[in-house]
Chains A and B, each alone.
Chain A
Amino acid sequence: DIQMTQSPSSLSASVGDSVTITCRASQSITTYLNWYQKKPGEAPKLLIYTAYSLQSGAPSRFSGSASGTDFTLSISSLQPEDSATYYCQQSYTIPRTFGQGTKVEIK
């Protein structure tokens, strides 16, 4: 199975800050990497697909990038409603696997 490792496991930042979350795959997944936002009591939401593409309806302050087996989710200007846990997920092969999540808190 492909292992997905996220870092950091949690972070705290202020409104307006830029934030970056990293996800590393244990082997090549080309750009089959997706990002989800999960808030307590809500269903996860797809934010970014195939590493770079912004899902319809997701705010433009979210962006994704890739370099080899390393992927990043960036939030350009953190908003209060961005307080959530973010997960990466590879869709290169079965079984689909997720990172362990990064909890983003607002100071």
Chain B
Amino acid sequence: EVQLVESGGGLVKPGGSLRLSCAGSGFTFSNAWMSWVRQTPGKGLEWLGRIKSTATGGAIDYAAPVKGRFTISRDDSENTMYLQMNSLEIEDTGVYHCTTDNSLGTFDDWGQGSLVTVSS
């Protein structure tokens, strides 16, 4: 059974930083393309970015609102993906999910999410 578990969320002040982790199990993590998707009160579901598997080049794509502030990375030896978030804004408040990103561009498996609150 595929399991994805996010951690690292919390309360942070505007301008601050936070790093989320996503631990995967029940599948071959190193072969998986992975994405981050967040749910915010104002915008519903929002795709943030994707990292391809190392075997297919490991390229990373970002959504415009987070490009330059957020960084996605992966450690296949730990079956873990990361989301480094810098220069956080109040509008970044929401629940952050990691997902598998499959060949048809579908998000088949999701973690339960990690709550990030940006507030002074």
With contacts A43-B111, A95-B63, A95-B64 known, is A87 near B45, CB below 8 A?
yes
* Size of interface on A: residues with Cβ below 8 Å to B: 26
Is the CB–CB distance between A89 and B104 below 8 Å? Answer: no
Interface SS of chain A: loop
Contacts of B105 in A (CB 8 A): 32, 34, 91-92, 96
In the complex, A42 Cα to B95 Cα: how many Å? 11
The answer, among A44, A50, A94, A101, for a CB contact under 8 Å with B107, is A44
B112 CB–A CB distance under 8 Å? yes
For residue A100, give the distance in angstroms from its CB to the closest CB of chain B.
5
Is the CB–CB distance between B50 and A36 below 8 Å? Answer: no
Contacts from B to A (Cβ < 8 Å): 35, 37, 39, 43-47, 50, 61, 63-64, 97, 104-108, 110-113
Other than the given A44-B107, A55-B108, A100-B43, 19 more pairs (CB < 8 A) read: A34-B105, A34-B106, A34-B107, A38-B45, A42-B112, A43-B111, A43-B112, A44-B45, A44-B110, A46-B106, A91-B106, A94-B61, A95-B47, A95-B61, A95-B64, A96-B47, A96-B105, A98-B45, A101-B44
Can you list the 7 inter-chain pairs with the closest CB atoms, starting with the nearest? A91-B105, A43-B110, A96-B47, A98-B45, A101-B44, A95-B63, A49-B106
List 22 A-B pairs, Cβ < 8 Å. Answer: A1-B64, A32-B104, A32-B105, A36-B107, A43-B112, A43-B113, A44-B37, A45-B110, A46-B107, A46-B108, A55-B108, A87-B44, A87-B45, A89-B47, A89-B107, A91-B106, A95-B61, A95-B63, A96-B105, A98-B44, A98-B46, A101-B45
